[in-house]
Amino acid sequence: MSFTWPTFLWLLLLPPLLVWGLWRMGRRREQTAKVFADMHLLASVVRQPPKAHVRWPLALQLLALALLLLAAARPVASSPLLVNQAAVVIVVDTSASMQAPDLTPSRLEAAKAVAREFVKLAPTTTQIGLVSFSDNASALVLPTTDRQKVLDGIARLKASFNTSIASGIVTAVRILPGRKNLKPPAELLPSNLAQGDPLQIQPDLPQSSKADFPPGSIMLLSDGAANISSNPGLPTLTALDIAARFAKDNGVKIYTFPLGREGGTVVQLDGQSYFVPFEPRNLERIAQDTGGKNVYPPNDDALKAVFKELGTVLRWQFTRLEVSSLLSALAIVLMLIGAGLNLRWQRRVV
């Protein structure tokens, strides 16, 4: 325990001094009575209450005074509190395939609706971030409890070009609390960087074990159709496996939400027809590899169950709290008890 105003601790000398003063007054009263009164008649004239009836209320009042003086020093204690440490990054696929209308009005709009619903239902203490990905990933909102900032980021999402799910996963892992010093997997870097381009590769930083990381999860909204990798020489499925392993190794579970209809669909873009695939099995595999869950089809009951699991991760955390108010409240209770005992035993409040 520490104190904001430790100088006030000197005031704790007052209760012992007060006890000594009361003892001296009692002794002087006894000596005066011996001088001016007949001791044989004193007991029949002056009624002395039992010592316990005097000492107990006095002790409670002195203890209350000591607590109030201690509270004046503003003590601060480290107390274990049950805190929601959940942090979730919403990762939204903004590739061209998300314009497919097999979900009304499109896959991207359906993804936005799911993301907004999670923001609405998640506890206010849940930290939520936002990442979008197409050719590359962009961290739009770092994990925060500011819901409006996240909703504004969701509203700005627009469809772009290709799909690099692995980039979205790696970026989301690195913006989760406690993981900013993580380096992306070397296999996912372009070949010139993987070989050690001194202008681009970051120096080695100390890595933490999975147990050291705060809780973190990813909510991946995509149609699962990955067609490029940040390393052009790496097959896309291999890149997904590497990204999933990166998340798992750093204590991050991925909850996947496949958006689309079985068999894919045809979409008109710039006057031409394109077949747009739907590959939920890629997302299911990512969820299984990281210990998360795959939500398909995303009906209301399934979404609410996963949202509850994602948004609440309770952990005991030592938090520094000022306990002056607690000590003051306890002092008031002791004073009231002491006054009540005085009223009951001596018919007065001293």
Q: pLDDT tens-digit profile of 236-293?
A: 889 999 999 999 999 999 999 999 998 888 877 777 888 888 999 999 999 999 999 9
Torsion of CA 264, 267, 273, 274, to 10 degrees: -40
Q: Answer whether 264's CB lies under 8 Å from 232's CB.
A: no
For residue 48, how many other CB atoms are within 10 A of its CB? 9
Segment holding 87, helix H or strand E: strand 87-93
- Cis check: omega of the bond before 105, within 30 degrees of 0: yes
Domain with CATH 3.40.50.410 in the chain: 86-193+205-312
Residue-level pLDDT at 191: 58
pLDDT tens-digit series, residues 190-223: 754 444 433 333 434 445 555 578 999 999 999 9
208 — phi, psi (to 5°)?
Answer: -95, 155
Spatial strand order in the sheet of 2-3: 2-3, 75-84, 314-322
Predicted local confidence at residue 249, as pLDDT: 94
The pLDDT assigned to 5 comes to: 86
Q: How confident is the model at residue 110 (pLDDT cuts 50, 70, 90)?
A: very high
**Mean pLDDT over residues 333-340, rounded?**
90
How confident is the prediction for the chain on average, in pLDDT?
A: 85
Residue 76: strand pairing partners: 2, 322
* CA atoms of 17 and 23, how far apart (whole Å): 10
Cis-peptide, bond into residue 297, ω within 30° of zero? yes
**Distance (Å, whole) CA 69 – CA 323:** 13
Residue range 86-193+205-312, CATH number: 3.40.50.410
What is the structure's pLDDT at 42?
Answer: 56
CA distances from 271 to 67, 78, 274 (A): 80, 65, 10
Predicted confidence band at 36 (pLDDT cuts at 50, 70, 90)?
Answer: low
pLDDT by residue (tens digit) across 163-188? 889 999 999 999 999 998 899 998 88
What's the rounded Cα separation, in Å, for the pair 115 and 153?
A: 11
Gap between the Cα atoms of 87 and 85, Å rounded: 6
Residue 215 backbone class (left: φ over 0; alpha: ψ -120 to 50; beta: rest): beta
- pTM of the predicted model over 0.75: no
